[in-house]
Amino acid sequence: MTPTARPFRSVLYIPASKPRALDKARALPVDAIIFDLEDAVAPEEKTVSRDVLAEALAAGGYGPRFRIVRVNGADTEWGAGDLEAAAAMAPDAVLLPKVDGPETVAAAAARLPGGVAIWAMMETPAGILNAAAIARAPRMGGFVMGTNDLAKELGSRDRADRLPLMSALQTCLLAARAAGIPCIDGVYNAFKDDEGLRGQCAQGRDLGMDGKTLIHPAQVGIANDVFAPSEAEADLARRQIEAWEAAKAQGQGVAVLDGRIVENLHVDTARRTLAKLDAIAALEG
């Protein structure tokens, strides 16, 4: 399976308890928004936040941005009510926190309208070990890495190279790719540290992540930049396709460009790069 065509470079969390932030997001150049009813909302604000969010989504104005509602877990006092409220909001997807296995997804699917995709927070040790089954669960639309919860569960240290999280990130990416769904990297907590964010975005992009979850508008530009194909990548893609077409016209299956072979699999990647650029252009209108 291959990376997905729809851009998910920047996926911004917005606490559903913050009307000003909900409004601001209508003008932010993000590919997707996670409207959060879970960890960003204090217990005493949980119920009223559902109404605030329902009102914001009903008012609309989010344009082509992919709208995801993150609910509280089914094992909490707010889980069932959140799911019912989210179903009525008709978002593009509902994001389930702390998914341990495919049965959690099935239970939510039974309570959500068919047109709403289900996404999973991958942030528990059991969830990571069951990643392949979760990715293949009916209606599963995408993975979001919950690196804060995962680090908490593992008891790992916060390292710049994210070594303690690497096997989990890659396991989820493998599972997502095998199922043909997007996998979005976890948040970078130091929201004023642009250089650190850029480094972590680049690491996620190198791994194959589709984009990064973000917590502040100031992080959007960097994620959009790093997760979009660069000019150099686009130029190489065009030249690879050209070289391969020319070789093919002469009955050859392999071309040589800049001293490297170009085979049909490289051409697939090149076409995907250009398709991603087209999709970004379409999204940015």
Interface with ligand LIB3CWND by CB under 6 A: which residues?
12-15, 20-21, 24-25, 36, 39-40, 121, 123, 146-149, 186-187, 191, 215-217
From the list Mg ion, ligand LIB3CWND, none, which binds 111 (C-beta under 5 to 8 Å, kind-based)? Answer: none
- Comparing CA positions, the residue from 105, 102, 144, 106 lying closest to residue 123 is 144
> Considering the rule CB under 5 A, would residue 15 count as an interface residue with Mg ion?
no
182 contacts Mg ion (rule: CB under 5 A)? no
Give 13 or 244: the residue with its C-beta nearer to Mg ion: 13
Nearer to Mg ion, 213 or 219 (CB): 213
Query: What's the farthest any 2 CA atoms get from each other in the chain?
Result: 70
CB atoms within 10 A of CB 134: 29
Q: Which does 36 bind (CB under 5 to 8 A by kind): Mg ion, ligand LIB3CWND, none?
A: ligand LIB3CWND
Min dist. Cβ of residue 254 to Mg ion (A): 46
Closer to ligand LIB3CWND by Cβ: residue 46 or 266? 46
Residue 192 CB, shortest distance to ligand LIB3CWND, in Å, is 9
In the complex, least distance from residue 135 CB atom to ligand LIB3CWND, rounded to whole angstroms: 18
Going through the chain in order, the beta strands assigned E by DSSP cover: 10-15, 32-36, 66-70, 93-96, 117-122, 140-145, 183-185, 211-214, 255-257, 260-262
Separation of alpha carbons 225 and 29, rounded Å: 11
Report d(CA 196, CA 225) in Å as an integer.
14
Give the H/E segment covering residue 196: helix 194-207
Cα separation, 187 vs 37, in Å, equals: 17
Position 186 contacts Mg ion (CB under 5 A): no
Query: Which residues of the chain form contacts with Mg ion (CB under 5 A)?
Result: 123, 146, 149
